[in-house]
Structure 1
Amino acid sequence: MKNRQALLTIHRWLGLALALLLVVQGGTGIAMVFRDEIEPVLHSELRVAPGPVRLSMQRLFDTVEAAHPEASIARAEIPQSADQAVLFKLKRRADKAPILTAIDPYRGRIVRDGGLSTWPVEWLFVVHEQLLSGPVGEYVIGFEGIVLFIMSATGLWFWWPGRKRFKSGFRVMWRGSTDIRWRTLHRVVGAVAGPVLLVTALTGILMVWKEPLRGLVGAEGKPTPAVAEQAGRPLAPLDDLVARARADFGGTPLRQIRFSSGGRVVAVYLDSNRSIRPDGTAQYYFNGYDGALLATYIAGEQSTPSELIDWIYTVHTGLWGGWFGRSLLLAGGITLLGLGLTGPWLWYSRRSRRKPSRARSKPAHDMLS
């Protein structure tokens, strides 16, 4: 009994201390589950009319670069649907502020352009990932994940009614007082969503400290090649690099092009048909000057520890189970939002009910003094 009460106390005070952060994570997590579907609805200009021929990636790159000479292009994201714009993500050189530019791949026309504040869903993603605070925010999110894991575990432990009374653990007292009704509902919903929240918290923690985890389990890190600047030397056409990667791997669809080492390393991301992971990619890293292949990272061909670590993001976002997995994560986000709001209210309600009883139990001479 004492152990159960101690766990309840830990659960309660952790929840009160991080209630606001849990609400933020739950609310932003809801939007992230169906991020790719929400964005074209919010910004109709991202839907484009397919034309007979797509323009070359180099031409799209040059158009975006000309529109933002003050920024460097970090990546280009190619949607799976033919009627969606290609999204370029840039960073201003002066302050590293992000810029997002969407371009019609058939006409070469920029259809949407602006900083993070003009892209609500992308803004929510950065809030969810790092609280708009860079690496410091990521570590705060990691700490919140640890707290959520502890809360989910202690909540399930406190809720557990035993095997013989298992069914009674899912009973909500609808006919009781408002306080009892919400208290039992909070407990039951938390118990049902507990396993999902445990997995979400654990994968979120592992994502924050993914690189130390690689070293701990002996997993290979993703390639990080670098190329020295060669002043005046032009870069190789992007389409040649994409064509080389596709010819080597087998012609699977292009998903991303990423730029590192000052744009001198070009990473071509193709769908990997050698992995059962739904977001698995075949990554080809090229020297941007001469097109020399610097490294590859093929999902489905890595060591077991590396493959398991790469699954963390897939599980955290619900991609592992298609619409079912994402719907499960959506329910988890809604539950976290609800628990984060009802928990402090239940604590306040409990304290409010205790105050009158304490006042009545005071000795008369204390009341008069």
Structure 2
Amino acid sequence: MIRLRGLWFQIHKWLGISLAILIIPISLTGAALVWHDWIDRQLYPERYPVAGSADLPPSAYAVGALKLAQPGEQISMLTFPQENGAVQITLTKQPAGGGRPSRAIVWLDPKSAQPIERGGPRDGALGLLHVIHGTFMLGPIGRQIVGWIGVAMLLSSLTGIWLWWPLKGSFARGLRWRRRPDFNSNLHHTGGFWIALPLAVLSATGVWISFPAVFNPPNGPQSGPSQPLAAPAQSPDEAVAAAQLVVPGEVASIAWPTDKKAAWIISVRSEGKPVEVSVKDSDADASVANATPETFARTMRRIHDGTGMPLLWQVVIFLGGILPAALAVTGILMWLRMRRRRRKHRRSAAAFAEEEALAN
């Protein structure tokens, strides 16, 4: 048991020391991104005009967004604000050489449909946080690095629980603050215990996201990304009118028909719940779309970033970003303190041996 504990200690120690410089930026950016929407409001207040509800027809917002569209870009999605805020339109462009389409977002005044701003999903400070957290700004290779750091953090969490467990005494003894003589050690042991299991969950879900091909292998041949139709047969106004005949209510979003599925998808808020209505682009035939169950991959991502999760879990994720950064620092300080003690002990032993030699 003692030997096994010593092995876990060495694994835990060297994982923390060697990866501290990488764990800290991942942890802190993850903590900040939990409050993505709030930060976005503080950084870009112009995107959230206090102008009331969006009462214009969808086609008016489509025309307004196209004023800022670049050549080759087409509208793929229109999203209405739930409360105050701008109408958002997503523009998509298929690269000439193939590959993933590029996306841009246009924010529009809900009352006038005049464009407020255009930006990319990874532009600005929040975009930088996303890129650092997901890839270290190194592209696909960085994504792999982040994934393996997640594996290391998962191991560190589990070995930390083992090392926290008291060798002597009850479980309650391990919950005491003063288990060690210095502040850093007490913070490391206590904070590490309380965040260990949530951090293990966040690390495991982060690994899942970083290695999608491993955990979500493609089924069958890949047909490539879909592209919005350049000239749909129905206008967005006609599609919305057809959808509201089936499900009356306030429209939340409109997805344009694509070359893979020639149907408008209208999300309608009915009795406080979103209901998706499919409207065929050819003849405006509308029907309630079959509810698509959330994929396991999407569930893993929501657990990891807190989207749509209870506030309590979002707070846990936030602490799961702050505490690992603090634990990395305190772990290094504990290691340096131990090295100083060992050097002092070796010097004392050498001095004592020298004195003994002189005395003899």
Normalising by structure 2, what TM-score?
A: 0.76
Q: Using a 3 Å threshold, how does the CA distance of structure 1 residues 307 and 264 change in structure 2: closer, same or farther? A: closer
Matched, 1:66 2:72: no
Deviation at 1:344, TM superposition (A): 2.6
Instruction: State the aligned residue count.
Output: 346
RMSD across aligned positions (CA): 4.3
Partner of residue 267, structure 2: 270
Q: Which range moves more in the overlay, 201-210 or 323-332?
A: 201-210
Deviation at 1:115, TM superposition (A): 5.3
Partner of residue 107, structure 2: 102
Q: Aligned partners of 1:341, 1:259: CA distance in 2, in Å?
A: 51
| CA deviation vs aligned residue, 1:35-93 (integer Å, no higher than 9, x gap) | 11221122221221334653333332333333131463575463653211133455775
Deviation at 1:296, TM superposition (A): 5.8
Q: Which range moves more in the overlay, 81-90 or 91-100?
A: 91-100
Partner of residue 326, structure 1: 314
The aligned amino acid for 1:346 is M
Q: Which range moves more in the overlay, 136-145 or 241-250?
A: 241-250
Q: Which range moves more in the overlay, 38-47 or 166-175?
A: 166-175
Matched, 1:181 2:183: yes
Q: Aligned partners of 2:225, 2:83: CA distance in 1, in Å?
A: 32
The aligned amino acid for 2:210 is V
Q: Aligned partners of 2:289, 2:18: CA distance in 1, in Å?
A: 45
Please say if residues 22 and 337 of structure 1, whose CA atoms lie closer than 8 Å, have aligned partners that are also in contact: yes
| CA deviation vs aligned residue, 1:80-108 (integer Å, no higher than 9, x gap) | 53211133455775897764432222212
Deviation at 1:346, TM superposition (A): 2.6
Q: Using a 3 Å threshold, how does the CA distance of structure 1 residues 118 and 201 change in structure 2: closer, same or farther? A: closer
Q: Aligned partners of 1:298, 1:346: CA distance in 2, in Å?
A: 53
Q: Aligned partners of 2:102, 2:225: CA distance in 1, in Å?
A: 24
1:1-369 counterparts in 2 under 5 A? 1-51=2-52, 53-70=54-71, 72=73, 76=77, 78=79, 80-90=81-91, 99-114=104-119, 119-161=124-166, 164-173=169-178, 176=181, 180-210=182-212, 212-214=214-216, 226=226, 233=231, 236-244=234-242, 251=249, 253-255=251-253, 257=255, 268=265, 270=267, 298-299=291-292, 302=293, 307-319=295-307, 321-362=309-350
Deviation at 1:284, TM superposition (A): 6.8
The aligned amino acid for 2:23 is L
Deviation at 1:152, TM superposition (A): 0.7
Please say if residues 203 and 315 of structure 1, whose CA atoms lie closer than 8 Å, have aligned partners that are also in contact: yes
Q: Aligned partners of 1:211, 1:37: CA distance in 2, in Å?
A: 32
Q: Aligned partners of 1:56, 1:22: CA distance in 2, in Å?
A: 48
Q: Any stretches of 5+ residues in structure 2 without a counterpart? A: 355-360
Q: Aligned partners of 1:66, 1:51: CA distance in 2, in Å?
A: 23
Instruction: Tell me the secondary structure at the aligned position of residue 27 of structure 1.
Output: helix
Deviation at 1:354, TM superposition (A): 2.8
The aligned amino acid for 2:291 is I
Q: Which range moves more in the overlay, 144-153 or 346-355?
A: 346-355
The aligned amino acid for 1:355 is R
Please say if residues 264 and 287 of structure 1, whose CA atoms lie closer than 8 Å, have aligned partners that are also in contact: no
Q: Which range moves more in the overlay, 89-98 or 160-169?
A: 89-98
Q: Aligned partners of 2:116, 2:77: CA distance in 1, in Å?
A: 15
Q: Aligned partners of 2:104, 2:32: CA distance in 1, in Å?
A: 20
Q: Any stretches of 5+ residues in structure 1 without a counterpart? A: 365-369
Partner of residue 367, structure 1: none
The aligned amino acid for 2:142 is G
Q: Aligned partners of 1:223, 1:292: CA distance in 2, in Å?
A: 26
Please say if residues 228 and 257 of structure 2, whose CA atoms lie closer than 8 Å, have aligned partners that are also in contact: no
| CA deviation vs aligned residue, 1:176-228 (integer Å, no higher than 9, x gap) | 3xxx3201211110110111111111222223344653559x9x9x9977479
The aligned amino acid for 1:16 is I
Deviation at 1:156, TM superposition (A): 0.8
Q: Aligned partners of 2:122, 2:227: CA distance in 1, in Å?
A: 33
The percentage of aligned residue pairs carrying the same residue is 21
Q: Aligned partners of 1:273, 1:351: CA distance in 2, in Å?
A: 65
Please say if residues 85 and 104 of structure 1, whose CA atoms lie closer than 8 Å, have aligned partners that are also in contact: yes
Q: Using a 3 Å threshold, how does the CA distance of structure 1 residues 88 and 25 change in structure 2: closer, same or farther? A: farther
Q: Using a 3 Å threshold, how does the CA distance of structure 1 residues 71 and 81 change in structure 2: closer, same or farther? A: same
